[in-house]
Amino acid sequence: MRIKIILLLIILAIGGAGIAFVSTSYVTTPIVVDSAGGKATSASYSTSFAVGEVGMKTSSSANYINKSHFAYTFFTTPAVPANTPEISLDKSEMSFTAVQGGANPTNLPFAITNSGGGVLVPSVADDMAWLSLSAPTPISVSGTSVSNVTVSVNIIGLTAGAYTGTITVSDSVASNNPQTIGVTLTVSEPVTVLPEITITPTTLDFTAIQGGSNPASKTLTISNSGGGTLKWSATDDKGWISVNPTSEWISSTQTSTVNVEIIGNFTTAGIYTGTITISDSVASNAPQTIGVTLTVSEPVTVLPKITITPTTLDFTAIQGGSNPASKTFTISNSGSGTLKWAASDNRTWLSVTPTDEWVSGTQTSTVSANVNITGLTAGLHIGTIVVEDSAASNSPKTVTVNLTIASNTTGGGDTTSPNDRSNGNSAGCFIKKLVK
């Protein structure tokens, strides 16, 4: 046995007062010495030596020191052998957060390593029902190897608040057995996402003619841009506004299409305004409104309009001969409504057929003009056909009729007019040309 002893003596008193001294030593093998002279056993210890005053009980000896001899006691602490494992954890605390009634928080790991010698065979345990651990079975850590443990939290049934727990990693032969990790769980009260009303468009404009038909209906879209269920209802503040449907339930992925109509008979021109209100008692932004504007205009009367083609008719005949063939012109309505035209003429030798008709839209009337040369002298005769409608915007309209009658000579005598002679024509030559 190798014993190295360093002794420090301090003489405090001489004779009956006794002495006190302290010494420390390191012993490679254990030594235990009693007050009678001592005996030794073997294993490695770190040893402290103390001597008390005669007649006093030492701090760690069960025996009183008597006056017949010096009393001395060794205090021993086992040294750590080189092959003893040591628990090493990569974290000492873990923290989780969750929302009451929501999903469990994400699992978190921690690592176990052996910072000592030999082989570490730890066990892991927790002290809370909401905690659970997942680790290899069995766990064995030596050298540079790492064992990972997954920590899970289950918040089912937990109310809002702060929770704490402990994970214990233990191995009975480890020099620092056990080791712990503190776990904190914070459960927050759920954040309620309320429904939110969104409307498109936020205004509706209608136009109508005084005394006319009601305008076409329009639509608006209601959606829930928040959470939960939007239980909307619609009301209006004017009797001439009609909304359909007036209520519906929609989630955040749904929409409602609402039809808005204008009803009633508006006999007075002007601008009318109203409001549609969309409500939900729990919506975060209720109520929401849609402005409705109705503009009623005075009626614009588009009158019928007479259009005639052509506006001039030319007839030729020979005095005493036959009547020329009839000619036509067309009457159409280039305005609106119905053209109720009537035709008349201002000459006895002129006539038209038909003398009246109704036309609208793309319709036309074809009118025949006839001349009767009986009793008429040679020369140019002019007449007018009048087409009118008291409601037409351009009434009356006229057609000019030109009738040219050439003289007819039989036998001797020169009956040509001075104008004919001045042009170097004889009556006979003129007649021949007309006959051709």
pLDDT digits (tens, 9 = 90+) for 287-343: 999 999 999 998 877 789 999 999 999 999 999 899 999 999 999 999 888 999 999
Of 158, 187, 172, 209, the residue nearest 99 (C-alpha): 187
Res 92: pLDDT: 95
One domain for residues 384 and 364: yes
Does 96 lie in the same domain as 169?
Answer: yes
Residues 203 and 293 in one domain: yes
Q: What is the CATH number of the domain that holds 158?
A: 2.60.40.10
Task: Flag whether 423 is in a domain.
Answer: no
The 8-class DSSP code of residue 420 comes to: H
Say if 416 falls within a structural domain.
Answer: no
Of the candidates 190, 188, 192, which has an alpha carbon nearest to the alpha carbon of residue 97? Answer: 188
Torsion of CA 152, 158, 160, 165, to 10 degrees: -50
Contact 217, 204 (CB under 8 A): no
Q: How many domains does the chain have?
A: 4
Cβ atoms of 335 and 393 closer than 8 Å: yes
Q: Are 277 and 287 in contact (CB under 8 A)?
A: yes
State how far the alpha carbon of 168 is from the alpha carbons of 90, 96, 112, in Å.
14, 18, 12
In angstroms, the CA 200 to CA 220 distance is: 6
CA-derived radius of gyration, the chain: 63
Please report whether residue 401 resides in a domain: yes
Residues 149 and 62 in one domain: no
pTM for this prediction: 0.41
Q: Is residue 361 situated within a structural domain?
A: yes
Of 170, 188, 206, the residue at which a domain comes to its end is: 188
161 and 180 assigned to the same domain:
yes
CA distance 198 to 280: 12
Domain boundary residue, one of 160, 188, 216: 188
Coil vs helix vs strand at 160 = coil
In the prediction, which pLDDT does 410 show?
A: 58
Q: What is the DSSP string of 371-400?
A: E--TTPPSEEEEEEEEEE-TTSTT--EEEE
Do 366 and 282 reside in the same domain of the chain?
Answer: no
Task: Mark the ranges of the chain whose per-residue pLDDT is less than 50.
Answer: 1-76, 411-436
Query: In this structure, are 66 and 125 located in the same domain?
Result: no
- Concatenating the DSSP letter of every residue in 133-158 gives EE--SS--EETT-EEEEEEEE--TTP
DSSP 288-321: EEEEEEEEEEPP------EEEE-SEEEEEEETTS
Measured distance CA(108)–CA(150) in Å, rounded: 6
224 inside domain: yes
Same domain, 40 and 69: yes
Contacts of 398 by beta carbon, 8 Å cutoff, 6+ apart: 311, 384, 385, 386, 387
Does residue 44 form part of some domain?
yes
Give the pair of three-digit tokens for residue 38.
């001592």
Asked if 297 contacts 271 with a C-beta cutoff of 8 angstroms, the reply is no
DSSP category for residue 39: B
Residues 269 and 229 in one domain: yes
Give the span between the Cα atoms of 140 and 157, in whole angstroms.
35
Both tokens assigned to 138: 């069995």
Burial class (CB in 10 A: 0-12, 13-18, 19+), 290: buried
Distance, in Å, from the CA atom of 169 to the CA atom of 180, rounded to the nearest integer, reads 6
Using CB atoms within 10 Å of the CB of residue 377, give its burial: 0 to 12 exposed, 13 to 18 middle, 19+ buried: exposed
Q: Is 23 exposed, middle or buried (0-12, 13-18, 19+ CB in 10 A)?
A: middle
Is the same domain home to 93 and 183? Answer: yes
State the residue range of the domain holding 365: 306-406
d(Cα 87, Cα 179) in Å, to the nearest integer? 7
What pLDDT does residue 297 have?
92
| 433 in any annotated domain | no
Is residue 411 in a domain? no
- Do 59 and 109 lie in a common domain? no
The helix/strand/coil state of 431 is: helix
**Judgement on whether residues 49 and 111 belong to the same structural domain of the protein:** no
End position of a domain, from candidates 134, 156, 188: 188
